[in-house]
Every structure is written in C-alpha cells, then in structure tokens.
Structure 1
C-alpha cells in the first residue's frame, strides 16, 4: 500500500523511460484529450509531483469486456504508463490476491484513503431478491458497491452495463439489473459507455482525473464531453456518401465494395455519440464501420431493446444519388434561387402593404 504515495514519474523512471519520452507522452495525452498547448506542462507537473491515485475496480453483472479493452491496448507503453499512473489497489479479475487477502486490501484502501480513491465499476448490481443474483465475498454486490462509493472521491461507470444496464437489464429483466447511478445518488458518476469503451477513452478519463484531481466536463447524461460530444456520423469517412445518397443496399453488393454508406443496413452512426470514428480501435487501426459493419449504437442507452441492429432508427432525408457534378450544382443553384425568390416575394409584399398604408393615411 505504500506504493500509492509514489508519483507516476518516479515509477516510470524506475522502468527506464526517459524524460524525453515522458514529455512526449504528456504532449500526446494533452492532444488526445482535446486540451490546449499549455495542458502538456500541467499534465507533466501533476504526474511528477502528485501521488498516484488509488483505484478500486469492482465487477458486478458483466462480461469483463471493459477490462479486456483496457488491458489489451495496442500500445504496450501506454498500457504500462497507465498502470503506473494509478495505484490499482483492487481488481478481483486481474489481482494476485484472492479471498480474505483481497477483501483485506479493499477495507485497507477504504480506510487509509477515505475521500481520495476512485471507484471504478464494471457491470451493474441486480436488485431482485435482495441482490442475491450477484454475490461478492458472501455479500450482495449492491451492498459492497454502496459501501465503497460512500468514501470515494469519484465513481467511474465503465461500459454500458454500469452506465445504462445493457443486456442484463434487457426486457423482461428478471434480476432487476440496474445502472449504478440508480443506486449511488450522492457521488459524481462519470459514465464511460460502450460495449466495451475504447481503451484510449478509458485511459484518457483516468489521465484527466490524475492530472486535475476532478472529473472531466460531463454532458447532461454524465458522459465526458471530450469523447462523447460528437456523433460517430459527424467524423465518419463514409459521410460524403451519406450526403450524396449513396448507400449499401445488400451485404457485399457493388456499393459495399465501393465503401458507400451503411445507413440502410442499420448503421446507428447518425444517432450514436462516441469517439469511434476519430479515435478508432486497436491503436487507431479501424472501427466497425471501416470493417464493413454498421454501428450498433452500443454506447447509447437502451440500444439492446430497440429492435434489430439492422433496422434504421430514424427517417433521415438525404439528397438523391446525383448522376454528375453539374446536377449537384443545378440542385444547389435551384435551392438558392428558390430562397432568393421567396425573399423577393416577401419584400415585394411588404412594400405593397407599405404603399397601401400610406395611401390610406393620405385619404
């Protein structure tokens, strides 16, 4: 437990990482978080001087895909740095201790770092039958969750299970699986949805808390704005085909081979807020749409109960498929011309009405 007082910089120096690479990491981190040029120096100062933040990582009803995403980063250096940045004091999935030893660490961290540790939650608590559908060390998970949240500095809801309930909460939800914000109501909760979330999104949130000692700015649903402020559709490389009305009609048709838009195949990109199309997966290599499959909207609340993944959720109107650039220009010119015509007609009516008023006043 003494290691929790060591700084991040002290840990990576012992691992042989140079100061040059340390500052390069800080610059890349500031950029990935969308922060200004001065943020890199603030991150460096924080990681050099602040003790590592103790983190308790708990698991409820889930498949552990969030942990898989987090620890299977395509960048080993990033993975090592993040695991050095925090003091991961408890994670029953990857920790060496088990049984009474693991429980002792949990209690020790809670007592020693009251109000200072971050509670990271993967999965959710079932509430039916007193929470007996998920037992931790002989106790319902919901009880341990409430206990550890009571003294936490902040709570992170990893993945759609913790954030929204996900498939465990799908109708008819016999276990009454519940998002953690319905159970923890007196603490700030940072929701990082996705099934699973992108590894760099997860590490970015941890980096921000480590640097600034507070949660990042959140949207009205509790998600970090730095990663969830734009729709996947907004930065999708197939967006031009959507705007042109060029769609894949059947799997592996000619349009699919040309990389046309997957909206008609059920892609939820226009209604899903996440960083997949900008950060991407596997170290920025690809994301589902780039791999030829539409987005299923896994970071959105209720995606599991909204019918087939291959149904369109919205009736979004597009331009027709243009035959050539001249026609595109004609359509645009026609729209502008129509607008000018309407404006001219309204102006003429106003002038006519004004003349009639003048004439009436003279008489």
Structure 2
C-alpha cells in the first residue's frame, strides 16, 4: 500500500513553516479549551494521522447533494477537501476530465486498497445491463461495483443512494435501485435527504 499523506505533510507542502504549524497547534488547543500541555499531543496527531482518500461517484441524480455539500459553513468545505481528507475523484468537483479523471479513479483504487472511503451520490439503473447511466464509457453500476470492491466503507449520499427516490418510483423503467441492493458486503452509511443538510454531510465525512 502506498503512503497516505498526513495533515502535517499537506500543510508543509502548501508552504506552512514548522513554526507556523506549532502556532496552529497552540491555537487549536486554546480553541478547544485545553491547556498548553496538550499542544505536543495535537502536533503528534497531526504529524502521524493519515488523511483519508475518498472517491465520490455520481449515478442517477440531480447533483443536489454536491450542491448542498459545497455550501457547508461548519466546517467550510474548502477545509474538508483541502485539509481533512483527500478527495481523489469527484467528476463534478475535480479539475481533470475524460481519461485523466478515470485514471485518477483507478490509481486511487489500486494504491489504497482497503483504505479509501467510497461516497456515492445517486443510484445505479439495472435495466438493460445498466445502459441508462454511462460513466467513462461504462455502465455506472459496473463502476460502482469496481470501486466498492476494495473500499473500507461506503457513504450513500442523499435519498437517491439511500432508498431510490424519484427515479426508483413506479413504474421505474430503468430499474433504478438504492446502493445497498447492489453492494451487500460493505458497511454503508446512509445520509438521506434531498438534499442532505450540508453540515451533516461534512460532519459525517470528517468523522470517518
């Protein structure tokens, strides 16, 4: 398994000096109401705890979950994405597209087997071998199964992923189905809502 960056490594890579880092740890302790004696413990945790790689997939949905997520205020989504976790793939938020984006997805799956979190927004259609939702030239249901195989856990964002929502309503011509009906061998954390509350989303993913 490849090395996963720690919070400290990310801060240093962004140009933060060791002195500024220790000041940050001191301010963190003060903000939490802790004595200065806790500063070394906070610094040690920041230096050693790895950031969590996250893959964020999109199936049948309206992207309202992402729209809610980016509006989080506590914590700010920029802090979640840039400092708290490693969002390695999200075709809505990432700069890369096409072959570069799909290469980033596969690279994360191979490098961090068993270590990454899979976040899923929307659901897979099963009718006609999944041909109603194509991502990167392949049915979304195939992408979902492939990405879930080596995931540590899965987050089902919103009502679509959690229980099917509008596209799974009768007569459901695409046979859209919630995530847990397709992935049955992984822990799945459901965060329903259309969309879910922004701070609930950032809170869940930061906690994990």
Question: Which TM class, normalised by the smaller chain length?
Answer: 0.7 to 0.9
Paired position in structure 1 for 2:36? none
Paired residues for 1:169-318 under 5 Å = 169-209=168-208
Q: In terms of Rg, which structure is larger?
A: 1
In structure 1, distance between residues paired with 2:154 and 2:76: 23
- Aligned partners of 1:123 and 1:161 also within 8 Å: yes
In structure 2, distance between residues paired with 1:203 and 1:174: 33
Deviation by residue 1:135-192 (Cα, 9 ceiling, x = unmatched): 0111110011001100101111011110010111112111111000000001110111
Deviation at 1:22, TM superposition (A): 3.5
Deviation at 1:203, TM superposition (A): 1.5
Deviation at 1:11, TM superposition (A): 3.1
- Aligned partners of 1:47 and 1:85 also within 8 Å: no
Deviation at 1:42, TM superposition (A): 8.9
Cα distance change, pair 81–131 in 1 and its aligned pair in 2 (3 A): same
- TM-score, normalised to structure 1, is 0.49
Higher share in strand:
2
Aligned residue pairs: how many? Answer: 193
Unaligned regions of 5+ residues in structure 1, if any? Answer: 29-40, 210-363
In structure 2, distance between residues paired with 1:100 and 1:45: 39
Deviation at 1:68, TM superposition (A): 1.0
Paired position in structure 1 for 2:108? 109
- TM-score, normalised to structure 2, is 0.83
Paired position in structure 2 for 1:82? 80
Cα distance change, pair 21–159 in 1 and its aligned pair in 2 (3 A): farther
Deviation at 1:23, TM superposition (A): 4.0
Deviation at 1:24, TM superposition (A): 6.3
Cα distance change, pair 204–124 in 1 and its aligned pair in 2 (3 A): same
Cα distance change, pair 48–125 in 1 and its aligned pair in 2 (3 A): same
Helix, strand or coil for the counterpart of 1:121?
strand
Helix, strand or coil for the counterpart of 2:76?
helix
- Aligned partners of 2:25 and 2:42 also within 8 Å: no
Specify which structure has the bigger relative contact order, considering alpha-carbon pairs within 8 angstroms and separated by 6 or more residues.
2
In structure 2, distance between residues paired with 1:59 and 1:205: 18
Unaligned regions of 5+ residues in structure 2, if any? Answer: 34-39
Cα distance change, pair 99–189 in 1 and its aligned pair in 2 (3 A): same
Q: CA RMSD in A?
A: 2.5
Deviation at 1:19, TM superposition (A): 2.4
2:20 matches 1:19: no
